[in-house]
A and B are shown apart, each in its own frame.
Chain A
């Protein structure tokens, strides 16, 4: 009897350390946030006026918030596709040993060692229209960060670059996990390199690709530091992703209630996307 009880409880015990931390530092504050989102708050962030779902209604009707949603979506797509592509190319390039591979694989993963704020400062100088090297090298005169048409792309490319490092690591780990012998067998059967890539490599990468995709998406939704430094949400709100809008409302405009509501909406969006992804996992990922 005793052993039975022990066996039933044992799995939960393994979860205690992480659940404890989550409980105190994540669940609790988040529930508080949900609570705050139903109020209008004063400048100290304390709930003052109960307004129920009015904060949500105002948000969903405000052109600025709808713009934030749109901007965030475009941003996420560019960041995820760009970051994963860069990481995948780098991983494939380093898949077979060749002289100097150590140096190159270190270089490809380097972007992950850089803080988003540090990278933003570097990119800010690079993209300066008069003294930055991007315009000098390309012979252009575009004001990258101040033109509403190019600002979002710049910030997204920076983020993709930052992510390419860790993506490279994930994909390399994934590629290393694929059994070499299946390639040999495929060669014997007459499959070309390209065919091998699409029918053997990619499916073999699918568990790690799934993980990388989900993680990249979630991270992209929460990108903040670089936007704060490079564009502050502008120009003309063309880089006003939801997280930045939350920061502005909470810490700059002293409107915690509205910021809390945006946090909740963001959370719901990410959760829906992740749930969809897990459904796809059941169908497409091979273990």
Chain B
């Protein structure tokens, strides 16, 4: 009898909750109405919540910036910054919180979550606040803003942007007598043997299997990842890297290096290749600019670290890099005061002074152009001249090569990584890998579009 009662109660409870679930989703359809921002003088005493995923050294830098803002802002705004785990965990928490209407006011989301956020209906595009406040958009580094802009509308504010570069062991290159730094995978293949024989390298390149690198290789060929203008003119319905040959070129070159023994499998993810490099085993590795400081610390003067542009596939390619990292999104809580407070905080974070500090502490790219005039910035570059490479590379890339937007990007990246892994482990050849990648990602896109408007 007790069991029956429990069962009845549970069914009732479940029915109630499913109904309320429907109610919530109905209320979420107010996406495109313009949201009002309160006047700056009205927000005294407002507290906003800021969710971020910065731990370690980066987290300390954020805490310093937040404290500074709380102490010094003249509007009486208080910011409550909370670490919410890695980007994946934070985004999941956001989803659950939004269902229950208790998310944050400002949230940091990784670049591959951009399409998801735009489609979510939860946000207030940065452009609206820029327009309402008369902020000069040209102050923002154009190549960074381009990633988060669609149809001339800036949706989120770039905050911690990184670009990919090539790190190399100068001592080994000198010993091998190589004077011209390779600018493509093809070129690396040509100098590989010398590095091993004469340079004293245990490994030519420790290349982590990272989806981001794959995307950069596509951009470096001047080609596109997805259709519909790389997912920017309209939501992408399929990938484009199979038909335009980009993927085949990448995988062929990668496999070639692997077959020659120059680029063995070292693991998945952006950090996988760093240990071999810092230990003085690998002559070359690819990584984010934000890793520069940690690499220098781990190398500790064992050898001289050089940096160069991220390699193309063939030296004859023409293209550019796109960015990685994350951006800041303002969430719509139907509160004009909180919105204004959020906007003032964002302006503070991207001010030249804050960005120069942020860059010096973390190695992320300064978002504001004027930050490069700050003394803090200039001293940092003097101390770490390797950072110049990143600046030059970004300025040399045109906004045409800004990356793709894809609703299922996290899954797509994981698929790409596992297919490359299969190929390198000898389980499939290049064409099969490319086909599997595109089939799988296309299927995910279809399924996603089926159940989500």
Direct contact of A and B (CB under 8 A): yes
* Interface residue ranges, A against B (CB under 8 Å): 12, 19, 23, 27-28, 31-32, 35, 40-49, 128-131, 143, 145-148, 232, 234-237, 248, 251-255
Q: Does B451 contact A251, Cβ atoms closer than 8 Å?
A: no
B403-419 vs A: 1/0 string, CB under 8 Å?
Answer: 00001101100100110
On whether the beta carbons of A232 and B14 are closer than 8 Å, the reply is no
Contact residues in A for B427 (Cβ distance below 8 Å): 236
Q: What B residues does A147 contact at CB under 8 A?
A: 425
Whether A145 lies near B2 (C-beta < 8 A) is: no
Q: How many residue pairs, one in A and one in B, have C-beta atoms under 8 Å apart?
A: 97
Given A28-B14, A43-B452, A251-B92, A131 and B411 contact (CB-CB distance below 8 Å): no
Residues of B within 8 A of A234 (CB): 268, 417-418, 421
Which one of A23, A27, A251 lies within 8 Å of B88 (CB-CB)?
A251
Beyond the given A46-B22, A130-B279, could you list 17 further A-B residue pairs with CB under 8 A, ordered by the A residue number?
A: A23-B10, A40-B447, A40-B451, A42-B451, A43-B95, A43-B116, A43-B448, A49-B451, A129-B266, A130-B275, A130-B276, A131-B279, A232-B268, A248-B414, A252-B88, A252-B410, A254-B411
Interface residues in chain B, defined as those with a beta carbon under 8 Å from any beta carbon in chain A? 2, 6, 9-11, 13-14, 17-18, 21-22, 25, 88, 92, 95, 98-99, 116, 202, 264-268, 275-276, 279, 281, 407-408, 410-411, 414, 417-418, 421-422, 425, 427, 444, 447-448, 450-452
Q: Is the CB of B452 within 8 A of A236?
A: no
| A12 and B2 contact, CB distance less than 8 A | yes
CB–CB B265/A27 < 8 A: no
Separation in Å of the A43 CB from the closest CB of chain B?
Answer: 5
Say which residue of B21, B414, B421 sits within 8 Å of A236 (CB atoms). B421
A-B contact list, 12 entries, CB within 8 Å: A12-B2, A42-B451, A47-B21, A128-B275, A130-B276, A130-B281, A131-B275, A145-B267, A146-B268, A147-B425, A148-B425, A252-B88
Residue pair B18, A35 in contact (C-beta under 8 Å): yes
Q: How far is the CB of B161 from chain A (nearest CB, A)?
A: 23
The answer to whether B10 and A27 touch across the interface, beta carbons within 8 angstroms, is yes
A146 contacts B265, CB within 8 Å? yes
On whether the beta carbons of A146 and B267 are closer than 8 Å, the reply is yes
Tell which of B17, B21, B99, B411 touches A253, judged by Cβ atoms closer than 8 Å.
Answer: B411
User: Nearest Cβ distance between residue B134 and chain A, in whole angstroms?
Assistant: 35
Q: How far is the CA of A255 from the CA of B411 in the complex (A)?
A: 11
**B26, chain A: closest CB distance, angstroms:** 11
Interface of A is mostly: loop
Whether A237 pairs with B425 at a CB distance below 8 angstroms is: no
B10 close to A28 (CB less than 8 A):
yes
CB A84 to nearest CB in B, in angstroms, measures: 31
B-side contacts of A236, CB under 8 Å: 418, 421-422, 425, 427
Closest residue of chain A to B415 (Cβ to Cβ) is A253
Contacts of A42 in B (CB 8 A): 451-452
In Å, the complex CA distance between A183 and B220 comes to 76
Determine whether the beta carbon of B265 is less than 8 Å from that of A143.
yes
By beta carbon, the residue of chain A nearest B6 is A23
CB neighbours of B447 from chain A (8 A): 40, 255
- The answer to whether residues A32 and B95 also contact, given A146-B265, A235-B421, A253-B411 and a CB cut-off of 8 A, is no
A254 proximity list for chain B (CB < 8 A): 408, 411, 448
Which residues in B have their C-beta under 8 angstroms from that of A131?
275-276, 279
| Residues from chain A with Cβ under 8 Å of B116 in the complex | 43
Query: Which A residues touch B407, using CB under 8 A?
Result: 43
A129 to B202, CA, bound (A): 12
Contacts of B452 in A (CB 8 A): 42-43
Inter-chain CA distance A252–B22, complex, in Å, is 23
Distance A146 CA – B276 CA, assembled complex (angstroms): 14
